Amino acid sequence: MSEIDTCRESVEAVKITVNALQYTGISIKNTLSESIYQLNRWYEQRKDSTYLEAALIQIRAYMELGFDYKDNYQLFDSILKKLGTCREMIFPKKFYNAKKINLNPNSVRSMIRTWSCSPYHTMPIKEVVDDIIEKVKSHKNGIYTYCRNNRPGVGDNNDMYLLVINDQECYFHDVKKNKFYEFNI
């Protein structure tokens, strides 16, 4: 098996591909979980370890997208065992901790970096926080964009955040830092 870091392009390709699902209402988490499950089944049928290597790439993408290993630990552990390794070796705890956020103003505000009083922002920060809390509490399906745009057209000062709510999942994505947050509801 090749070192997982040599598969960086493959992991990024998986992440880009599944991120497109958020616009269709299809669950990214469930899609990746089912795909990993199917790759494991094909390995069991054919005994071809390339299926396990492909599953490992998808597990890494799953975790980098902010989903919790524990939600599929039995499947993931069995794949890693078949590859002759374990979670601690492949996925160091400090790197792959999905951030869970309580649904209160202070916790929601902590997901968003500096937000000044610029007229170019989507809305004032208090309204952003209140809007996120209201949409999550009422489970209002959709993809909502929040932008911090200090000076349009000048440098890389702009931050974009996405709130994605569908029937299967609800998460907040800091696009610039590629961080994902789930809510404790």
pLDDT recorded at residue 98:
57
- Going by the DSSP 8-state scheme, the letter that residue 98 receives in this structure is P
Q: CA of 34: how far to CAs of 62, 100, 147, in Å?
A: 11, 23, 33
120 phi and psi angles, rounded to 5 deg: -90, -5
Q: Using one digit for the tens of pLDDT, what is the confidence trace for 8-36?
A: 788 888 988 998 888 888 899 999 999 99
Q: CA of 93: how far to CAs of 67, 75, 87, 88, 164, in Å?
A: 13, 18, 9, 7, 26
Distance CA 174, CA 161 (A): 5
Instruction: Give residue 181's Cα distance to chain centre.
Output: 7
- Inform me whether the pLDDT recorded for 111 exceeds 90: yes
Q: Using one digit for the tens of pLDDT, what is the confidence trace for 60-69?
A: 999 888 888 8
Q: Using one digit for the tens of pLDDT, what is the confidence trace for 122-178?
A: 788 999 999 999 999 999 988 898 988 766 665 555 788 889 887 777 888 888 887
